[in-house]
Amino acid sequence: MNVSDFDFDLPPEAIAQRPAPRGTSRLMTLDRATGAFAHGNVADLPSFLYPGDLLVVNNTRVVPARLFGTDDEGRRTEFLLVEKTSDPSTWDCLARPGRRAKEGRAFDFGEGLVGTVAGKGDPGHYLLAFSGTPLEEALPRVGTTPLPPYIHREGGVADARDEEDYQTVYAKEPGAIAAPTAGLHLTPEILESLLHQGVSVASVTLHVGIGTFKPVKSERVEDHRMEAEQGVISSGAAAAIRLAKEEGRRVVAVGTTSVRTLEASAREHGGRVEAGPFRTRLFLVPGAEFQVVDALLTNFHLPRSTLLMLVSAFAGRENVLAAYREAVASGYRFFSYGDAMFIA
């Protein structure tokens, strides 16, 4: 399967730079059995869910993981915290420019926080050991929200609006460096409406990692390797999901990260979702079997991206690309701050 099979034409002006007011974005519905699509609004979402449905959301919280440090020669280097290592004071990071991240070199991030390069991780990754002010204490003051590269800001840094806009209303567990963006559409009012009509909600956690920003550089889909991401499923959420499947009720995933959380667990446990921490590189492409998820709320994704491949696996590549062509022609807004699609 070629990566070019997941390409489509997208005018630059279709890439949303700011979100619509939460809960007011456009919503395209797609019937994955027939390929039929229709136009609506995110506020209409309750009309597409049924009593007994189980809505699964990802409650990860985006951390201000983008940092700028100065070395002893006064040079400024950008770091992106990817994930903690087994040593709680050391993080796996990306650095730009990477040539400055020499082992043993220290960087001053302000507020008494110092990071020293302790070595290299995976290709292009560096280990940064923090000292001085505890990172958790300093990070809210020295870090910024790590926006995707297609969202442009003055000075190249997220602003105060992004700190609120790029976080779901139910974000709880800190650890993500990118938002689970389908969830950005949900408001307390929409969630309350769903609960009133008999829809249950379960929260899982997948800390969205650098793979969200990583382009697919191989020509063949099979040659791409996903970045590892970690998360946890609570015992209550696992039990609710298993019960829904046993009773024949729909499991509706909010976002591709919720999909990968559920499907990764099912693959590890013989088709059942089980509680506990996990780490996954699950890459869902056309031909994959979905063992848990019955419906999906998602955004419109980048051409040639792993997210578009996942959605194509769920709804069929031709169905999805036809819907995307309609979305472009109809002026839908794309990517993290864009409009939504409901697939069932």
Do the Cβ atoms of 29 and 40 come closer than 8 Å? yes
Same domain, 180 and 272: yes
Note down pLDDT in tens along the chain; length 344 residues. 999 999 999 999 999 999 999 999 999 999 999 999 999 999 999 999 999 999 999 999 999 999 999 999 999 999 999 988 889 899 999 999 999 999 999 999 999 999 999 999 888 899 999 999 999 999 999 999 999 999 999 988 999 999 999 999 999 999 999 999 999 999 999 999 999 999 999 999 999 998 877 789 999 999 999 988 999 999 999 999 999 999 999 999 999 999 999 999 999 999 999 999 999 999 999 999 999 999 999 999 999 999 999 999 999 999 999 999 999 999 999 999 999 999 99
Same domain, 127 and 25: no
Domain boundary among 109, 142, 175: 142
Residues contacting 241, CB < 8 A, separation 6+: 54, 56, 202, 251, 262, 273, 292
Rounded to an integer, what is the distance from CA 60 to the centroid of its chain?
9
Domain boundary among 85, 112, 142: 142
What's the rounded Cα separation, in Å, for the pair 229 and 133? 27
Same domain, 245 and 325: yes
Same domain, 36 and 84: no
Rg (CA), the chain: 20
Residues contacting 50, CB < 8 A, separation 6+: 198, 199, 250
For residue 158, being part of any structural domain is answered with no
Rounded to an integer, what is the distance from CA 100 to the centroid of its chain?
29
Same domain, 43 and 12: yes
Same domain, 200 and 137: no
Same domain, 172 and 301: yes
Both tokens assigned to 111: 């507020």
The residue segments making up the domain with residue 322 are 3-62+163-343
Same domain, 212 and 125: no
pTM higher than the cut 0.85:
yes
Helix orientation angle between 317-329 and 306-315, rounded to the nearest 10 degrees: 110
Do the Cβ atoms of 256 and 310 come closer than 8 Å? yes
Same domain, 191 and 227: yes
Residue 214 belongs to domain with CATH number: 3.40.1780.10
Same domain, 58 and 109: no
Phi (first) and psi of residue 280, to 5 degrees:
-140, 150
How many structural domains comprise the chain?
A: 2
